Structure 1
Amino acid sequence: MNWTVFRRMASAVVVAGALSGVLLSGVQQFQVEKIILQAEQYEKAAEEAAPAAAATHDHDHDAAPAHEHAAGTPAHSHGDAHEHDPNAWEPADGAERTGYTVLANVSMAVGFALMLVAAFAISGRRVGWRSGLLWGLAGYGVFFVAPSLGLPPEVPGTLAAPLHARQLWWVMTAVMTAASLGLFVFGRGWWWKVLAVLLLVVPHLVGAPQPELHGSAAPEELAQAFIRATAMANAVFWLALGGLTGFFYRRFG
């Protein structure tokens, strides 16, 4: 690959990623952000109530020393919740928070666009915006739908399994789903199709890591609304990213 071709491919990645990231930020601002802000209010209220509840709990223990927890049974076993460190830095609400969100989304979109362009080149097929939409739909299935079947999007204040375990399962699911779709589309022979099915179902047979206790500071209705809004925002993002990457890949390349 010569420098001119590489530069054109890089231009397609940057332009498509920037436009898709900005679009995602706009959709999130109108659909997702307000749900997150509401959930954060519930999370903060729960954190403020926790010290008072703990003080009451300790007082009750002092008043009734005969009351003990059974041996080997923890008093509170929550697993790894979405913890909020009050001393941690976070952007201020408003323009600063929006700016950091846009920056993060654009960076993520450029990374995914780079993966799409690499997939275009490896496939050896002619790609335009129409076929780019199909690649974007595949990306939506790989990076959102399949992992969400085991680890649905969660609002702040939701109890969750340890982060490392969730990350490992997410990566495993995305990789196996991508390999499965690749075998379905490009594989020749029934044995490749069988292997594709196995790769598709194995992560879900293993099962996503779950917390010891399930719960959330936010109401269930808010959590369900967040899942729907996130699914819609990601669908718009991936279709836009696929179509734009395919369009600029053909135009610049």
Structure 2
Amino acid sequence: MSIFRSIVFSAVLSGLIGGTAVTVLQYFSTVPLILKAETYEHQAPEAGAKPTDESAKGHAPHDHASHEHEPTAWKPTEGLQRNGLTAAANILTAIGFSLLLAGFYALRGGVDRHEALLWGLSGFVVFTAAPGLGLPPELPGVPVAALGARQLWWIMTALATALGMGLIFLHRAVWATVLGFCLVVFPHLVGAPQLAGAHSDVPDALSHQFMVAVTMTSLLFWTLLGCLTGVFFRRFSAR
């Protein structure tokens, strides 16, 4: 079997399993916390002093809240539709990340189980741990900075962390280690965009629970994805 087909087949199978597994984990870990936080988000406008439509939009906690009550805005219904769309999004995301992993495995001529695990953990550091230091996972109803600024910082952090870790672990030169360390630290020296002086009705304890649940779910997801992609890639590339 060609290398390209090995990459695609291993990514699809790993993504299906990994995406389904993380959906099940989310159903029991993060989803109940999100649903609970949404009750605070819906109650927040009622607790105010009858703001006008313009003032409400100007002080919305985040973009989702500012459009939530628009009659033309669509959102999935609770139950099968919402869970199904979540599962589809998780599976597609898992396939995309697995394609990246399988591509790296192919460039390295294949990896063993230990290397596959390390690559999975590296994905967790790049896409969850490093960005989460500045922008931890937030529940609905928690005020956050502008979406564009957060997205830009997240992308910069993920890229800098990936390049930095590549220089540190894939090169054996002192200059590469120093440059890699600087790249990893740089986004955090710049600082993530924050919304100062914002108040949220969501309890801090609930936000902390959500942050821990998301982090642990992501850790399990990346561990599983790295290992599964390695197993399937070795099997398909050996044919």
| TM-score under structure 1 length normalisation | 0.86
Residue 203 (structure 2) aligned to one of 219, 233, 237: 219
Q: 1:85-124: per-residue Cα shift (whole Å, max 9, x none)?
A: 22321111111111010000001001101111122223x2
Secondary structure at 1:164's aligned position in 2? helix
Residue 20 (structure 1) aligned to one of 12, 18, 21: 18
Residue 75 (structure 2) aligned to one of 90, 101, 114: 90
- Contact 1:21–1:105 under 8 Å retained in 2: yes
Distance 1:81 1:211 in 2: 10
Q: Alignment identity in percent? A: 43
Partner of 2:4: 6
Secondary structure at 1:217's aligned position in 2? coil
For residues 204-215 of structure 1, what are the structure 2 equivalents within 5 Å?
A: 204-215=188-199
Q: What is the CA-CA distance between 1:184 and the residue it aligns to?
A: 1.0
Partner of 2:187: 203
- Contact 2:10–2:229 under 8 Å retained in 1: yes
- Contact 2:98–2:225 under 8 Å retained in 1: yes
Partner of 1:47: 45
- Contact 1:132–1:242 under 8 Å retained in 2: yes
Q: What is the CA-CA distance between 1:176 and the residue it aligns to?
A: 0.5
- The CA RMSD over aligned residues, in Å, is 1.9
The one-letter code of the counterpart of 1:81 is H
The 10-residue stretch of structure 1 (81-90 or 95-104) with the greater mean CA deviation from structure 2: 81-90
Q: 1:150-198: per-residue Cα shift (whole Å, max 9, x none)?
A: 0000000111111011000000000000011111111121011100110
The 10-residue stretch of structure 1 (41-50 or 235-244) with the greater mean CA deviation from structure 2: 41-50
Partner of 1:143: 127
Unpaired runs of at least 5, structure 2: none
Distance 1:223 1:80 in 2: 15
The one-letter code of the counterpart of 2:142 is T
Would you say 1:35 and 2:33 are equivalent positions?
Answer: yes
The one-letter code of the counterpart of 2:184 is L
| TM-score under structure 2 length normalisation | 0.90
The 10-residue stretch of structure 1 (214-223 or 186-195) with the greater mean CA deviation from structure 2: 214-223
Matched residues, number: 230
Distance 2:4 2:194 in 1: 43
Secondary structure at 1:214's aligned position in 2? coil
Would you say 1:107 and 2:104 are equivalent positions?
Answer: no
Q: Which runs of 4+ in 1 moved over 3 A?
A: 76-80
Distance 2:60 2:104 in 1: 38
Bigger Rg over Cα: 1
- Contact 1:80–1:163 under 8 Å retained in 2: no
Unpaired runs of at least 5, structure 1: 56-73
The one-letter code of the counterpart of 1:159 is P
- Contact 1:42–1:218 under 8 Å retained in 2: yes
